Structure formats: structure tokens, C-alpha cells
Structure 1
């Protein structure tokens, strides 16, 4: 090996990070301030509403109870399991467009607003019973 740079890179016994940084301690427990893993998991499974969706719900007088939100969230879970990305979720007389990976309701409308409305840029539809 005549090239000194090449010889340095092939030297046996050299291990560890190249830039001299210590690898992260993989056994270290990661916790947020006072938040348990279950609480973090529950937060991830909740539905979020975009600002636009919140405005539409208010304008149209749509109020969702906690048990209704749980049923809708369950439907979003089912859509995610099937690989859905943007889904139309129909619940009673409410239609919602949901970004499934983000678990975010993008917009919502009531029955009268749905008449003669065409839903585009969705890849799935879920009917919540």
C-alpha cells in the first residue's frame, strides 16, 4: 500500500465513531417530565383538528362527544391498518377528511353542506357506525 491515506482507513483495530463522539447510551430510559409511556401513547392515538376543521365545526354547529371521538379515532386506526393516507370518514350526518398518518381532521361538514359535494384527493372512505 503506497497510499498513506488508504493505509490509515484500513488499519485493523480501529473501532468507534470516526468524529470522536460517544455513541448514545442505548440503555438510558427516555422520559418526559412527569409523563408516563402510557400517557404518551394515549396522546399519539388522539385525533387532532386543524384550525380549518375547528372553524368548520364551529360554523356548522357540530359538537362531538368524547365517546364519538373515540369511535372516529378507532375508524382512523382501521384506515391506517389498511394503509390509508387521506380518508373520508362518514359519521352520522358528518363528513370529515382525515390525514390518517397525522391523525388530523383537515375539514368537516354536516349533511346539508355535503349535498352535491365531490370529495377529491382521498384514497379511502370509512363509514363509522
Structure 2
């Protein structure tokens, strides 16, 4: 390594000399580490369900398909873009409370159960179509 490659805080970035072209480094093919890293990032963007929410869904015999999960993910993404921390997601006759920061569905209820409850500790609501 050339000592000219090391920069210290406050040191200006050296510019290429006139008449020379910057050295282009060949980018390596996707490594196994890179692939695993991308898969990990993808998993972090998917909404998770807490044990409590899973139990509620099971008790109420509510099943969510891939399309519904994709819409829930989009709703959490929209809430996140607006700076929400805890959001009520309304989807047909289903209500979900999500921790936007943790990308986790905290609780779920449907049908008549929604009408008898007051939702607290939320700072936003998203209606899913």
C-alpha cells in the first residue's frame, strides 16, 4: 500500500493529476458473504409477528397469505417513512398494532373484537387497501 493512500481526518482528498485518469478497480463477483448479507438485509425489512400477535391470529383463526403480508409490509414502510413509531394498521376487518421501529406486529384483532377496544400508545394509523 502506498502511504499516499492513507488519509487522516482533516486531510484534503487528493485529486488526480491533470492528464491522468483515475485508477478504476475491478469489482469482484458477488461473494458468498455478500449474498448472505443481502439476504439478511432482506429479512430485516420483513415484518415479524410477536408471539402475542401470533396467538391472537391463531385464536381468531385468521390466516394471512403472501399478498396480505406484502401489503402489511408496505403499510409499515409507509408509516416508517412518515416517522411513526407505533402504528394501527387497518386491513379490511383486521386491526394490527405495529412497532414500526422494530418492524414487529404486536397484536392483532378482527371483526367484532375491534369494536370493543380502544387503541392506545399509537402515533399513527394506516388504512391498507
**TM-score > 0.5, shorter chain as reference:** yes
Q: How many correspondences in the alignment?
A: 100
After TM superposition, the structure 1 stretch with the greater mean CA deviation from structure 2, 52-61 or 109-118, is 109-118
Task: Tell me how far 1:111 sits from its aligned partner.
Answer: 1.2
Structure 2 unaligned segments of length 5 or more: list them. 1-30
- 1:86 is aligned to 86
Runs of 5+ in structure 1 lacking a partner? Answer: 1-30
CA RMSD of aligned residues (A): 1.9
Note closer, same or farther for the CA distance 1:118–1:34 as it changes in structure 2 (3 Å cut). same
Residue 122 (structure 1) aligns with: 122
Q: 4+ runs of 1 displaced by more than 3 Å?
A: 31-35
Map 1:11-30 onto structure 2 (within 5 A).
none
1:5-49, CA deviations, whole angstroms, 9 ceiling, x for partnerless residues?
xxxxxxxxxxxxxxxxxxxxxxxxxx8868533212210111111
Distance 1:59 1:33 in 2: 40
3-state SS in 1 of match to 2:80: helix
SS in 1 for 2:102: coil
Normalising to structure 1: TM-score of the pair? 0.72
